[in-house]
Amino acid sequence: MTAGRNSAVGEQASATPGKAAKGVKGAGGAAVSAGKGAGGAGGAAGSGGKRAAAKKTGAAKPVKKAVAAGPAKKAAAAKPAKSATKAAAVKPAKSATKAAAAKSVRPVTKAAAGPAKKAAPAKPAKSGTRAAASTSAERVEKSAAAKSAKPAKKSAAEPESRTALVRRARRINRELAEVYPYAHPELDFENPFQLLVATVLSAQTTDLRVNQTTPALFAKYPTPEDLAAANPEDVEELIRPTGFFRAKTKSIMGLASALRDEFGGEVPGRLEDLVKLPGVGRKTAFVVMGNAFGRPGITVDTHFGRLARRWKWTQETDPDKVEKAVGELFPKSDWTMLSHRVIFHGRRICHARKPACGACPIAPLCPAYGEGETDPEKAKKLLKYEKGGFPGQRLKPPQSYLDAGGIPAPPLGATAPPATGE
């Protein structure tokens, strides 16, 4: 312990300027002789004690002489400390040498008491440093844990869970039910046959154009048997306004013949039978099943598929895959009316190019909000049909539509304000 303290004192004293060390040369010599006396005392412990006591008095005198020079004390204390350390290190095995070195160093320790006391607290400082280091390490760990926990707060960037998607989708359906309580198929029909033919004709054109065309067609060919026996050129001329009239003539005359020959002139109510008819796919089949027979079905037209992707219900583009994905989000009993509501919304507010976001009743639920006009006043100018005060697509709409302020569509050839574009 004494050797350790002396080495600490020696290290502090070594920093003293060289000039101060030269000024205390005499005192340093006395201290060195004291160190030698301590080394010589290794022969006998008793005599070593006496010599150490004698050297103590001898070593004290040079220290008194060095009182005049303040820095000299520190320098004087420094040299004996080094020599004492060396002496203690030379023969560490002998207890007498340790005792003599300890006694001989005592005067030096007193002289260097000031620096020694200051250096003594250095040992506890290590534990304090360790504590501080451990505390800082804990802080680093906590901060690292906090940083790793930050991404959890950014839940908006994480993918929507399946449960959340189902809840949001069904809430959108409920909101649309309040906005469009009068939603209905926008094709005029009086029986399943008329609805089937009108749906086939609606491909690549608007429901309005079909509704303006079918009255003359059904007036001339009211049954499947009549249409199957018609002159193709006459049929083409009647349905020309719908576009692709040659291909459509072939389809509707073909399905009329199949109904006459295979189903007794009646439209079947099963999906597997309907899709076998010429020009009839799943979309057309579900329109007929849901609206003519009351059997649930999802109608994936252009508007339905577009909004399903815009609302993140699915990313599929194939109509059959869209139908399957959306059908899993809703109970089967909702499928038919869901189709009407989504199509109504797509035609009136949520347009493909310029959606009226500022006038949309489901804006808080829409992940694509902001793609269109968000200013309420400007958005109102984008509304169509009854929402914008314009005529609808049906010449003979249901009474609920008229009660809600809907306006019937004009017949073919009549002028009317532009209300559509999709």
Catalytic residues: 283, 301
Q: Which amino acid is at 45?
A: A
- State residue 391 phi and psi, 5-degree precision: -65, 155
Contacts of 337-340 spanning 24+ positions with Cβ under 8 A: 337/177, 337/183, 338/173, 338/298, 339/286, 339/290, 339/297, 339/298, 339/299, 339/300, 339/304, 340/180, 340/183, 340/184, 340/185
Query: Cα(first)–Cα(last) distance of the chain, in Å?
Result: 97
Compute the chain's Rg from CA coordinates.
51
Contacts of residue 30, Cβ cutoff 8 Å, sequence gap at least 6: 58, 59, 61, 62
Which two three-digit tokens encode residue 205?
């054109």
Cβ-count burial of 263 within 10 angstroms (0-12 exposed, 13-18 middle, 19+ buried)?
middle
- Beta pairing partners, 391: 407
Contact 329, 298 (CB under 8 A): no
Note the helical H segments in 328-375. Answer: 335-348
Measured at the CA of 403, the angle between CA 398 and CA 408, to 5 degrees, comes to: 55
CA distances from 158 to 141, 263, 273, 322, 366 (A): 26, 53, 44, 23, 16
